[in-house]
A = this chain, B = another copy of it.
Amino acid sequence: MDAQRSVRNGETNGISATAGPEGHHFDANLTSQVIGATGPKANPRLASILPNLTRHLHDFMRESEITSQELMAAFDLLAWAGRMTDDKRHEVLLVGDVFGLEPLADDITYTLAADRSTIPTVLGPFWRANAPLRSMGDTIVFGIESGDHTYMHGRIVDAQTGGPINNAELDIWETAPNGKYEQQDPDQIDMNLRGRFRTGEDGSYNLYCLRPTTYAIPQDGPAGKLLQLLDRHPMRPAHIHCIVTAAGYKRLTTELFDRRDKHVYDDAVFAVKEDLIVDFVPKVGDPKAHFDLEYNFKLARQTS
């Protein structure tokens, strides 16, 4: 405690203090107190990352001279995000996406795995568990006559062998042409534009969906507030969300992006990867679809 007082008075006495941009000296002793408080029976992974996390958070606060009032504003914003988060919308995740945290974690996870699966990208806040299980060839579109109806098809294969995966599940979801997911839109039926499809022995899938629509991420919460304060646009390039799972394989969470979308290289949440940009090809001879989308998903085997 005496060390803290000395630092505060500018008499560092050999105590390591961090200087702010104006040369102010703040309490560096606090960082080692927090790091040193971890006990011997701590969770090993949490104990291993805590020192680095604490140092980065404290260094950021000292370097940017974050005041109590500013910290409280950040806490209030996170509390607001937490209160908005439920099984229909993960607003905390969306706040993280404003800072690119989710795509970065995806990149780290993918790089560490080094398993040549389809590249993952962000889950986003609108996935819902237990979407209806549908039959191959079914549509996920209900009550929408307009829109670019699309025949989507392809195979789900083993990333190593290229062989088909039997009983793989493709869980897809997308917005309506008005840019809204069904849970945001009282005019859509429950679970509209969502569906789960299971492959047979040939690993193939086919279904009807919509060519997706560019849309703004929700602006009625803290993520929208942050974008506004940062003078950033809220638009996401048009995309179809996919989660692909199969017994013995790692879960793949990804999105397919429409190459012709004007935001395809300017995504509000930084989720686009080149390998996930696809072409919607005009389709003739199918009264149920204007476009054709072929995409093959590669799953990596579970290791442990």
* Chain A residues proximal to chain B, CB less than 8 Å: 1-2, 4-5, 8, 20, 24-27, 30-31, 33-34, 37-43, 45-50, 52-54, 56-72, 75-76, 78-85, 90-93, 96, 99-112, 120, 123, 226, 229-232, 253, 265, 270, 272-275, 277
Contact = CB atoms under 8 A, between A and B. Distances in A.
A64 B45 CA distance: 10
Contacts of A120: 68
Contacts of A57: 56, 60, 99, 101
- What is the count of identical protomers in the complex? 2
Given A34-B99, A57-B101, A108-B62, A42 B231 contact: yes
A59 B100 CA distance: 12
Contact of A50 (B2, B59, B72, B230): B230
Contacts of A81: 78-79, 82
A49 B60 CA distance: 9
A104 B26 contact: yes
B78 A34 contact: no
Nearest to A38: B230
Contact of A39 (B46, B93, B232, B275): B232
B109 A67 contact: yes
Given A42-B230, A270-B33, A68 B105 contact: yes
Contacts of A99: 34, 53-54, 57
A56 B56 contact: yes
